[in-house]
Structure 1
Amino acid sequence: MCPVAGACGREGAVPCVELGRAHERKLGICDALEAIADGLPSSIDRFRCLEVASSLVPLLRECHRYEEEIVYPAFEVGGPGQRAASTVKRLRAEHVEDECSAQDLSEALLAIGHGEAVTNPEALGFMLRAFFEGVRRHVAFEQEHVLPLIHATSAGDRHA
């Protein structure tokens, strides 16, 4: 039995599966942000800017809430004691930073989507790349360190 069985809204769902879905969604929006950055300064899809701007913050909040309420407690249960707690503290801090950056990006993308000129494409490109590279690093860390541990913990619980 998974240490947080039923918490994912489906009986027997494991955090690994749901976290994998959240990662896919976050990486998908990173790809969209990268495409916007690659199009600067002359090839801007204003509709895509609006689309990404309207979904970025809600997506992160939803994914972060799930990670903080379900995944991280499961990680701490099976994790290496104090190191797990300090890892979770760092990951939570990254969530705060990501959400603040996402809010700034959303505002910039909404303005562009509504027709404003990109006055400093280098700065916007840097802002976009810093954000999606940070999110990709966060996802990679969770995939390499958090997921294997909670997967092993929940697999062990199913065999118990």
Structure 2
Amino acid sequence: MKRAHLQKLRLCDTLEIIADALPNVDRLRCLRTASAIVQLLRDIHRFEETVIFPAYEANLTSAEANLASTARLRVEHIEDQCFAGEVAESLLAIGHGEPIESAEAVRFMLRGFFDGLRRHIAFEREHVLPRIGVSDTDPAA
């Protein structure tokens, strides 16, 4: 799980670098990121939903189980994957040299995506990992 968080945080950092550089971006970085983003999230989400979430749910009290946190996290996974497709499409276009009509709009899209991922990771670190017995004392880990 920590490795999955690290991979997603690296993705967030790369997207932030791209957002900060707009409209003068590294086109190769855009292409590399676009080619990896959807599959990376799909693989991590599959792991979380088949391994981590069942372990988390098994450690909840009956009152906590009614909060439906994992149901919300699963919905966020779907939203993140859809959003990742849109991000990948934009990055591919930029990477292939298509003109950036609105750097501000692309910046907004990228920031919305990586901010959401970071919030999701923060929730998992604060609530899910402790319940499954994973220590996460290093916030950068």
- TM-score between the two structures when normalised by the length of structure 1: 0.81
State the shift of 1:82 in Å: 5.0
State the shift of 1:80 in Å: 2.8
Percent identical: 54
- What are the ranges of 5 or more consecutive residues in structure 2 without an aligned counterpart? 135-141
Once the two structures are superposed, the pairs formed by residues 57-136 of structure 1 within 5 Å of their partners are: 57-81=38-62, 83-84=64-65, 86-136=68-118
Alignment match, 2:19: 37
Alignment match, 1:148: 130
Q: Alignment partner of 2:133: what SS?
A: helix
- What are the ranges of 5 or more consecutive residues in structure 1 without an aligned counterpart? 1-18, 153-160
Structural RMSD (CA): 1.1
Partner Cα distance (1:44, 1:84) in 2: 45
Count of aligned positions:
133
Q: Alignment partner of 2:61: what SS?
A: coil
Partner Cα distance (1:135, 1:91) in 2: 11
State the shift of 1:81 in Å: 2.7
* Cα pair distance change 1:113/1:71, threshold 3 Å: same
Partner Cα distance (1:148, 1:53) in 2: 33
AA at the equivalent of 2:59: G
Partner Cα distance (2:60, 2:14) in 1: 34
The answer as to whether partners of 1:75 and 1:84 remain within 8 angstroms in 2 is no
Partner Cα distance (2:52, 2:27) in 1: 36
Partner Cα distance (2:14, 2:88) in 1: 13
AA at the equivalent of 2:28: F
- TM-score between the two structures when normalised by the length of structure 2: 0.91
Q: Which of the two has higher C-alpha Rg?
A: 1
State the shift of 1:146 in Å: 0.2
Alignment match, 2:4: 22
